[in-house]
């Protein structure tokens, strides 16, 4: 089953790559992006798309990394708390019960 999923993911990646190459080939018009405070140099539409996708990928990776680090820290605290509770429980199980009367 895992092999089939890997094959499907590979085929999907190849399809996306193929569509991207077709887009870049068919959109060779050069444009300059005009932002509020500056205008960029001229590149083809396909190159701007590749740049935008690369920047998006890097930003997504960085944001996911931050979230992953926060989750790992939270997991570490939860494990520490669980170990502390387990130790306390072990002490309470072995302690003798004192008769109040």
Of all helices (H) and strands (E), which one includes residue 31? Answer: strand 30-31
Within a domain: 97: no
Of all helices (H) and strands (E), which one includes residue 68? Answer: helix 45-94
Best CA proximity match to 45, nearest among 33, 57, 31: 31
Within a domain: 82: yes
Within a domain: 50: yes
Looking at the DSSP bridge assignments, the partners of residue 30 are 44
Within a domain: 53: yes
What pLDDT digit, counting tens, does each position of 23-40 carry? 878 888 899 999 889 899
**Count of structural domains, the chain:** 1
What pLDDT digit, counting tens, does each position of 73-100 carry? 999 999 999 999 999 998 888 877 666 6
For the whole prediction, is pTM greater than 0.85? no
């Amino acid at each position: 089953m895992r092999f089939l999923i890997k094959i499907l993911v590979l085929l999907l990646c190849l399809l996306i790559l193929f569509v991207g190459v077709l887009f870049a080939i068919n959109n060779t018009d050069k444009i300059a992006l005009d932002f509020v405070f500056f205008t960029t140099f001229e590149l083809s539409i396909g190159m701007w798309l590749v740049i935008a996708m690369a920047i998006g990928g890097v930003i997504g990776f960085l944001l996911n990394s931050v979230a992953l680090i926060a989750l790992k820290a939270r997991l570490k605290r939860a494990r520490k708390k669980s170990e502390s509770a387990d130790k306390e429980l072990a002490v309470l199980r072995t302690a003798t019960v004192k008769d109040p009367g």
